[in-house]
Amino acid sequence: MTTTAPPLAARADEALAGLAPGYFALVMATGIVSVGLRLAGADEAALVLLVLAALTAAVLAVLYLARWMRHRDRMRSDAKNPESAFGYFTIVAACSVLAVGLQAEGLGTASALLLGVGAAIWIVLGYVLPWQVLMTRDGEPILARTNGSWFVWSVASQSLAVGLSGLEPASPAFAAVLGLLTVLSWSVGTILYVGIAVLVILRIVHFGITPRQFEPTYWVAMGALAIAVVAGAGIYAMPTVPMVDAARGLIGGTVVLFWCFALWQYPLLLGAGLWRHLIHRVPLRYVPSLWSMVFPLGMFAVASLRLGRVEHLPLVEGIGMVGLVIAVATWAAVFAGLVVTLVRGVRGVRGA
């Protein structure tokens, strides 16, 4: 005699099996909007979003662990899929963004621990995932399935540089090591961005891209440049240590170029979104990948605010304030979509 699972349990397990590898982008987006609000002086709102980001991270950590226990084959399949594998790097970036938020609250020890966890995951994923994607073939061309989520690999590396540059070393000896690790993370992230950008451009040139294929993850191309600006500015402001001194001039000279290129991409990506939804009428509804659009919007706002203040550029800072308003409004809209989706799911189960 066979028994069927209750509707609620069955649907919950189905949702767990299909949990997106890049769902930690929710934590990234919420955390970076919190950082932006703090830069704008809205400390109370920033703290609320930081707490929400931390709670969300805890819930997602439990869900990912449960998915590994119950649907290990699905997770392994995602790790070999060029279209989804690099979404797992959102875990690293989420740890780093939360660490930056904790630094602003004066919780340096907790921030260092989070960065340690993020760095350990980054080292493992940085070697395992590319091997899985590039060396494990399934008969389909990889280049045709290259997409914007690959830029999250670069973002993860740069996010570590941002977090590490904000730490206070316990001793001068640690300061030298910290400087080395920070410059290393920034450098790896920058080089990865260039390589991934070439692959994405080749994919578009050779295979084209349809409106449905232009997913929100392509916004990460801008976010990766913006976070490189923030990381570079952080390194430039670090105390004098050999590695930082050796790289300070090079890194300091790139931040303005990166910001300008990110600004150039902003209307390009916006226009592509209008092309997707207004001209070709691809339905605009809540999907987890929308958080990969919110994060770049928030990251660009933070980069503009920091660059404008450090370099005394009022126009750039003003652009950052406008960008922050857009990022907050977009975060609120996507979060509302998440809540509506969850409520509908619960109602559907009760009505079954």
Give the integer Cα–Cα distance in Å for 125 and 45: 33
Tell me: pLDDT of 28 over 90. Answer: yes
Give the integer Cα–Cα distance in Å for 259 and 278: 28
* Residue 240 counted as domain residue: yes
**At 82, phi and psi to the nearest 5?**
-60, -25
Length of the chain, please? 352
**At 132, phi and psi to the nearest 5?**
-60, -40
What is the domain count for the chain?
A: 1
Tell me: pLDDT of 90 over 60. Answer: yes
Kindly compute the dihedral angle of the four CA atoms of residues 268, 272, 275, 281, in this order, to the nearest 10 degrees: -150
From residue 50, how far is each of 24, 38, 264 by CA, in Å? 14, 10, 30
Q: pLDDT per residue over 33-46, tens digit each? A: 999 999 999 999 99
Q: Residue 277 is which amino acid?
A: H
Which of 77-81, 119-123, 173-177, 215-219 bottoms out in mean pLDDT, i.e. has the lowest? 173-177
Q: Which two tokens stand for residue 254?
A: 């790139």
Give the integer Cα–Cα distance in Å for 262 and 114: 28
Mean pLDDT of the chain: 91
Is residue 196 within 8 A of residue 150, CB to CB? The reply is yes
Mean pLDDT of 35-60: 96
State the CATH number of the domain containing residue 228. 1.50.10.150
> pLDDT value at position 169?
76
Give the integer Cα–Cα distance in Å for 130 and 138: 15
Tell me: pLDDT of 48 over 70. Answer: yes
Q: pLDDT per residue over 255-307, tens digit each? A: 999 999 999 999 999 999 999 999 999 999 999 999 999 999 999 999 999 99
* Residue 93 counted as domain residue: yes
From residue 296, how far is each of 22, 196, 319, 334 by CA, in Å? 14, 17, 14, 14
* Residue 31 counted as domain residue: yes
* Residue 6 counted as domain residue: no
Q: Residue 162 is which amino acid?
A: V
pTM score of the predicted model:
0.92
> pLDDT value at position 1?
42
Query: Model confidence at 350, in pLDDT bands (50, 70, 90)?
Result: low
Q: pLDDT per residue over 115-134, tens digit each? A: 999 999 999 999 998 888 88
Kindly give the residue spans of alpha helices, DSSP state H, lying in 208-290.
220-236, 242-274
Residue 271 belongs to domain spanning: 17-134+142-340
Is residue 56 within 8 A of residue 26, CB to CB? The reply is yes
**Cα torsion angle, 341, 223, 313, 184, sign:** positive
* Residue 293 counted as domain residue: yes
Mean pLDDT of 84-104: 95
